[in-house]
């Protein structure tokens, strides 16, 4: 994004990035106050440029939770969530289920203990330091540190209150969510499929492979596929008028999944892969805010002093037009709905192409890896077969 001319700001979790903790507050999987402070500060400093935000792993969980908490009041114009755990309770059960997951669990716990050692003076005073040193899993660390500092009654209470899946229904800006079905940490069982389908602002993309924040491309793994997909999504969103209209549209939070699924057609590109909801609601005719000008940033903004005010075309045309008959009004509304759906499809087209391209690359990569494995292992297998053949041929001779 920086190479494309966007202004980029990176927000590290509290106590990371080489910055010491100066208060009795630490970050956790549901702590949204820090990212809220960063976003609000940038919006106050550069109020005329749209902001976009990208969250990865536990940062993705924090981002989605923040979007759900803020609803329409967030200054963000769009966002992307990569490999979010979604439901921390489900992921906690999953990570202790098999040998591979338990290995990741211990590795992450080791990293958390390293984080704790960086801020030992604070944690030794606020939490159970002896328990932190003996922690061998994420759950044990959260029991001895996170729950005590953040004042949660139990670990499961902390996990339930901080899971972003409960906040998906109130997300009011375009959000791209990418998850790999073979993620060794964030299981597919935690993905809120129905909630994402019910929210027309969310595009959920899942891939068969990709691991956790990997999605490597090519034999040398020189590129990450999700980076390009997010870049295309944000650029398409920034260049479309849907982003600006969505910010001015009044969002209605559905308490259940009753109506949205039935009223809106949903495009499923790869089975349970890409889910692109397209609503039947017509394009809103609200005044477009001066703050949403095409001069975008990722988690940052740049003020555009020469930005022109965007006219409310629908309002101007409405004042000049005479009264229409019900049939003519219905035809106009239908045309508006078609244009609205076309805009959404145009915005989602780059992401659809990227997912299809990834599927083709995966098919080629499997055959190429099989060929490489066969070629590289053939000398060893040939030597082994030759040795076995020689042993078998000696036994009949010795018996004679």
Domain containing residue 62: CATH number: 3.40.50.1820
Average pLDDT of span 378-389:
71
Q: Rounded to 5, what percent of the chain is helix, strand, coil?
A: 55, 10, 35
Measured between alpha carbons, how far is 349 from 347 in angstroms, rounded to an integer? 6
Domain presence at residue 177: yes
Q: What is the pLDDT of residue 150?
A: 94
Domain presence at residue 333: no
| Structural domain ending residue among the three candidates 239, 274, 292 | 239
Domain presence at residue 327: no
| Structural domain ending residue among the three candidates 239, 265, 292 | 239
Q: What is the pLDDT of residue 261?
A: 38
Of the two residues 353 and 96, the one the predictor is more confident about is 96
pTM, 2 dp: 0.64
- Checking if the pLDDT of 152 tops 60, the result is yes
Same domain, 54 and 188: yes
Average pLDDT of span 199-205:
95
Domain presence at residue 277: no
First vs last Cα of the chain: how many Å apart? Answer: 77
Quote the radius of gyration of the chain (alpha carbons, Å): 26
For 135-195, list the strands marked E by DSSP. 175-180
Same domain, 6 and 137: yes
Domain presence at residue 146: yes
| Structural domain ending residue among the three candidates 239, 255, 276 | 239
Coil, strand, or helix at residue 51? Answer: strand
- Checking if the pLDDT of 127 tops 90, the result is yes
Of the two residues 333 and 295, the one the predictor is more confident about is 333
- Checking if the pLDDT of 206 tops 50, the result is yes
Domain presence at residue 205: yes
Question: How many domains is the chain built from?
Answer: 2
Asked if residue 195 lies in contact with residue 169, where contact means CB atoms within 8 angstroms, the answer is: yes
Q: What is the pLDDT of residue 98?
A: 87
Asked if residue 112 lies in contact with residue 139, where contact means CB atoms within 8 angstroms, the answer is: no
DSSP at 310: P
How many other C-beta atoms can be found within 10 angstroms of the C-beta atom of residue 114? 9
Average pLDDT of span 7-13:
93
Band of residue 255 on the pLDDT scale cut at 50, 70, 90:
very low
- Tokens matching residue 34: 């820090």
Band of residue 48 on the pLDDT scale cut at 50, 70, 90:
confident
- Checking if the pLDDT of 365 tops 70, the result is no
**Which structural domain, as residue segments, surrounds residue 374?**
342-390
Same domain, 217 and 348: no
Q: pLDDT of 288-308, one tens digit each? A: 334 434 444 444 333 344 443
Q: What is the pLDDT of residue 344?
A: 63
The fraction of the chain above a pLDDT of 70, given in percent, is: 62
92 Cβ contact list (under 8 Å, min separation 6): 138, 139, 155, 159
Asked if residue 269 lies in contact with residue 359, where contact means CB atoms within 8 angstroms, the answer is: no
Average pLDDT of span 121-138:
94
Tell me which range, 101-110, 269-278, 353-362, is most confidently predicted by mean pLDDT.
Answer: 101-110
Domain presence at residue 178: yes
Query: What mean pLDDT, rounded, does the chain reach?
Result: 77
Domain presence at residue 92: yes
Q: pLDDT of 66-112, one tens digit each? A: 999 999 999 999 999 999 999 999 999 999 988 889 999 999 999 99
Band of residue 222 on the pLDDT scale cut at 50, 70, 90:
confident
Measured between alpha carbons, how far is 30 from 88 in angstroms, rounded to an integer? 10
- Whose tokens are 């549209």? That residue is 249
- Checking if the pLDDT of 232 tops 60, the result is yes
Same domain, 92 and 203: yes
- Checking if the pLDDT of 245 tops 50, the result is no
């Amino acid at each position: 994004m920086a190479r494309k001319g966007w202004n980029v700001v990176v927000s590290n979790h509290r106590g990371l990035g080489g910055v010491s903790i100066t208060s009795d507050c630490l970050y956790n999987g549901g702590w949204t106050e820090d990212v809220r402070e960063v976003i609000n500060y940038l919006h106050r400093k550069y109020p005329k440029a749209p902001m976009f935000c990208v969250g990865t792993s536990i940062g993705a969980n924090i981002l989605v939770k923040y979007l759900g908490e803020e609803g329409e009041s967030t200054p963000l114009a769009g966002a992307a969530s990569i490999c979010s755990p979604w439901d921390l309770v489900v992921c906690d059960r999953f990570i202790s289920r098999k040998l591979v997951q338990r290995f990741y669990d211990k590795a992450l716990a080791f990293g958390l203990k390293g984080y704790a050692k960086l801020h030992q003076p604070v944690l030794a005073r606020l939490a159970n330091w002896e328990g932190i040193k003996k922690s061998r899993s994420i759950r044990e660390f959260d029991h001895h540190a996170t729950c005590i500092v953040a004042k949660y009654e139990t670990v499961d209470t902390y996990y339930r209150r901080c899971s972003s899946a409960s906040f998906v229904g109130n997300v009011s800006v375009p959000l791209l969510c990418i998850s790999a079905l073979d993620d060794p940490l964030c299981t597919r069982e935690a993905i809120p499929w129905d909630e994402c389908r019910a929210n027309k602002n969310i595009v959920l993309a899942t891939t068969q492979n990709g691991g956790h924040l990997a999605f490597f491309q090519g034999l040398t793994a020189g590129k990450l596929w999700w980076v390009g997909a997010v870049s295309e999504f944000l650029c398409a969103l920034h260049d479309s008028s849907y982003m600006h209209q969505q910010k001015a549209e009044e969002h209605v939070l559905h308490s259940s999944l009753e109506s949205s699924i039935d009223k809106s057609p949903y495009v499923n590109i790869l089975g349970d892969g890409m889910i692109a909801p397209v609503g039947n609601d017509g394009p809103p005719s609200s005044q477009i805010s001066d703050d949403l000008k095409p001069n975008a940033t990722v988690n940052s903004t740049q003020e555009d002093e020469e930005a022109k005010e965007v006219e409310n075309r629908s309002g101007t045309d409405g004042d000049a037009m005479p009264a229409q008959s019900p049939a003519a009004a219905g035809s106009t509304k239908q045309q508006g709905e078609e244009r609205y759906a076309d805009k959404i499809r145009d915005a989602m087209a780059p992401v659809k192409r990227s997912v299809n391209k990834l599927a083709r690359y995966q098919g080629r990569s499997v055959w190429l890896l099989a060929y490489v494995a066969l070629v590289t292992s053939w000398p060893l297998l040939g030597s082994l077969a030759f040795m076995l053949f020689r042993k078998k041929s000696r036994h009949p001779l010795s018996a004679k």
